[in-house]
Amino acid sequence: MAQVSINSDYDELGSSTDAGERARLLQSPCVDTAPKTEGEFSPGSLARGNTSTLGAVFIVVNACLGAGLLNFPAAFSTAGGVAAGITLQMSMLVFIISGLVILAYCSQASNERTYQEVVWAVCGKLTGVLCEVAIATYTFGTCIAFLIIIGDQQDKIIAVMTKEPEGTSSWYTDRKFTISLTAFLFILPLSIPREIGFQKYASFLSVVGTWYVTAIVIIKYIWPDKEMTPGDIMTRPTSWVAVFNAMPTICFGFQCHVSSVPVFNSMRRPEVKTWGWVVTAAMVIALAVYLGTGICGFLTFGAAVDPDVLLSYPSADIAVAVARAFIILSVLTSYPILHFCGRAVVEGLWLRYQGVPVEEDVGREQRRRVLQTLIWFLLTLLLALFIPDIGKVISVIGGLAACFIFVFPGLCLIQAKLSEMEEVKPASWWVLVSYGVLLVTMGAFIFGQTTANAIFVDLLA
């Protein structure tokens, strides 16, 4: 194997090299990823060497599956039907899996244990800072999407409980009031603590909720209710642009790359080859869930499907109401974890900007943490109240998900191969560098196209 000399110079742009310069951050929505020495792992974290291969598959599946599942039937409609949706997902799966393997390879070569630290070590400070900003923005947007999902599901449940005529509502059943009340009572108290030790419960609820939603969507397609009438069932895309417009949802749904690096390092045998089988199995399972939901949801409602598929079903359906309750519980516990990830990135960026070592700034940590949490919470709540369509949020943050899947892994692969100390480059070296360039090009195109479409079509429409 070629000798690799990964760039570890964190001072290349004149930055501080103290502890604040490389603050160890929690980045995974599912696992505690803060690198620690042997025997120093906090409760709820994944210690190095404790996760079996099967356990790693489960964790990656759980990190992949989530609230984005609700948008897949609409993605099939946007793409132009079942054939286009399946082809798009199958084509992207190759790049998604390869990106996960590349991150494991670069993590092993750089001896770093979180996504952003791998990018820092392999690609340097500038790309590392861009990666952290992207993670903070992505988690912020996802928190907005979670609040919108809570409002969507509560509207349907409350309509059944109060039996109010459609189009009318009292002040206590108004969407803005119910979202705000739920957020202040449950989400804010869970978001303020310094440590989050209930990841396993959130993971369990997320898994149960997503599988139950998939089962309900499939069952309702096989045995549809009489009052459900599908719209037009498209069989081909209206244009190539329409196909690309479905990519944000797919990227948002399959994005587990930020969580993948700590999961890889938590395995008993963190080997790239074994990891390849782990992520392949995990992505195939996730693909089955997304295809089942996307195909059956789209064929049930056609072009009339709502961006949140559960909103297309009758409010009084008990089985669907249970699915809505599962999703609400999952989102209530997932928001604080995603907020914790974003807050950790903001904290690290702030400390580096100030040039203050972590050890010297512990005294002001609590005040700063509460202030950061309140600002984050209030901004996401305010935006969620005035952006009622989850599809608009996903169209924006889906482009960022493409960066985590394509751009940053591609840059890491290119830099890792360029760092190899070999006078004569074999054919495999050129192939891998070319593949890295392809990943970066594809990711940049998807990010640019989907973000521009989200701004000029969805947000400014």
Q: What is the mean pLDDT of residues 281-303?
A: 93
pLDDT single digits (tens) 55-76: 888 888 888 887 788 999 999 9
* pLDDT at position 169: 67
Q: What is the mean pLDDT of residues 204-210?
A: 76
* pLDDT at position 167: 58
| Per-residue pLDDT band at 36 (split at 50, 70, 90) | very low
pLDDT single digits (tens) 411-427: 999 999 998 877 778 88
End-to-end CA distance of the chain: 54
Q: How many other C-beta atoms are found inside a 10 Å radius of the C-beta of residue 34?
A: 20
* pLDDT at position 215: 94
Tokens 């692969």 correspond to 413
Please give the CATH superfamily to which domain 19-391 belongs.
Sodium/glucose cotransporter (1.20.1730.10)
Is the pLDDT higher at 434 or at 47?
434
- At 139, list the tokens: 């988690």
- At 399, list the tokens: 């482009």
- Is the C-alpha dihedral spanning 391, 178, 201, 362 positive or negative? positive
* pLDDT at residue 9 is higher than 50: no
* pLDDT at residue 35 is higher than 60: no
* pLDDT at residue 203 is higher than 80: no
What's the DSSP call for residue 303?
G
Tell me which residue of 288, 285, 244, 279 sits closest to 99, measured CA to CA.
279
Q: What is the mean pLDDT of residues 229-254?
A: 82
What is the SS3 assignment for 420? Answer: strand
Is the pLDDT higher at 198 or at 384?
384
* pLDDT at position 460: 58
Tokens 């059943």 correspond to 173
Q: What is the mean pLDDT of residues 253-259?
A: 89
Q: Share the mean pLDDT of the chain.
A: 81
- At 423, list the tokens: 């006078």
In whole angstroms, give the CA distance from residue 261 to residue 272: 11
**Rounded to 5°, angle at Cα 81 from 283 and 62:** 20
| Per-residue pLDDT band at 196 (split at 50, 70, 90) | low
* pLDDT at position 437: 96
Contact yes or no for 381/126 (Cβ under 8 A): no
Q: How many other C-beta atoms are found inside a 10 Å radius of the C-beta of residue 289?
A: 20
| Domain boundary assignment for the chain | 19-391
Which pTM was predicted? 0.81
pLDDT single digits (tens) 343-373: 888 888 887 777 766 555 566 778 888 999 9
- Dihedral through CA 409, CA 436, CA 267, CA 25, nearest 10? -20
In whole angstroms, give the CA distance from residue 131 to residue 338: 16
- Determine the residue type at 256: C
* pLDDT at position 458: 61
| Per-residue pLDDT band at 2 (split at 50, 70, 90) | very low
What percent of the chain clears pLDDT 90, i.e. is strictly above it? 41
pLDDT single digits (tens) 38-50: 434 333 344 456 7
* pLDDT at position 163: 74
* pLDDT at position 244: 81
In whole angstroms, give the CA distance from residue 377 to residue 87: 38
What percent of the chain clears pLDDT 70, i.e. is strictly above it? 82
* pLDDT at residue 459 is higher than 60: no
- At 235, list the tokens: 């069989």
* pLDDT at residue 231 is higher than 80: no
| Per-residue pLDDT band at 385 (split at 50, 70, 90) | very high
